[in-house]
Amino acid sequence: MFRHLLLFLAAVLTLSAARPVATSTNLPPATRPVAQQSDTLTAGVFPPNPTVLKGATRDLADLDVRLVTLKPGELYAPEEDVDSLGHLLIVKDGTIVVSNNPIKTLGPGGVGLYSAFMLLVSNQTTSKASFYLFTFESRAGTDRRRAMDPDPFFFRDWPELVMKPTPKGESRAIFSQPTMSLKNINMHATTLNPGEMSHPQHMHRAEEILLIRSGNVRMHIGNDYIPAKGGDLVFLPSGVPHNLENGNTGRTEYFALQWEQ
């Protein structure tokens, strides 16, 4: 494992030397428009495949969600290096190390939100690790300075998320901030006790993704009821009525993600 760590650190140092770290003082206020295209994604429940979800939405010219699995000692680097893209990383299982400054270790439920400056992910354990990787690009274009107001690199492990008890279970606020391609993106985690409902069926302007972390639930989307379980992703377009119902066999945990351009 020590050898893998040395190789990982060497790769990080090489990349850092080749590419300066971006700061709010050296980034131009550039905005890149995005070509318009039709929506291609519809509401539904999607299982945890290597390609979970890919297409266009009302607010996003491109939304790409993948499940990346790393073998012990394996290193993952992004296939593209485009500053206009935003990324969200959520660990499904195992433990990964990300080349943030400082280097950060994330276990199951750990979260990372960052712009597409080069970021390396490694598995330095003796078992497999997997994480969901979201890539998103707004139809409204990009604004580099906007993403520098908050911390452009947000990484939190699950135990670091502050838990608040609720009448139905638990809630964890995670982040609410702009990115280079979005005016705001926000996410929280909810734990529902057996037999509880997230809320009465409702709709809203923002598009939403639910990522079921554990448990078995029933999604009420429009007039349809669709089962979902731990590992599944639920996509909810703007204006679609929805809610989530937990079963009676145990708790369920899920992430709720919304954004606006």
C-alpha 71/C-alpha 164 separation (Å) is 35
- Cis before 150? omega within 30: no
C-alpha 129/C-alpha 110 separation (Å) is 12
Query: By C-alpha distance, which of 222, 209, 219, 223 is closest to 247?
Result: 219
pLDDT value at position 142? 72
Q: Which listed CATH number (3.30.1330.40, 2.60.120.10, 3.40.50.300, 3.40.109.10) goes with 162-260? A: 2.60.120.10
pLDDT tens over the chain, length 261 residues? 444 444 444 444 333 333 332 222 233 333 333 444 567 899 999 999 999 999 999 999 999 999 999 999 999 987 655 555 788 999 999 999 998 767 999 999 999 998 755 678 999 999 999 999 999 888 887 776 665 555 567 899 999 999 999 999 999 999 998 887 788 899 999 999 999 999 999 999 999 999 999 999 999 999 999 999 999 999 999 999 999 999 888 999 999 999 987
Q: Is the pTM of this model over 0.75?
A: yes
pLDDT value at position 70? 97
- How far from the centroid of its chain's Cα atoms is residue 173's Cα? 14
Where along the chain do its domains lie?
A: 162-260
pLDDT value at position 30? 36
3-class secondary-structure state, position 6? helix
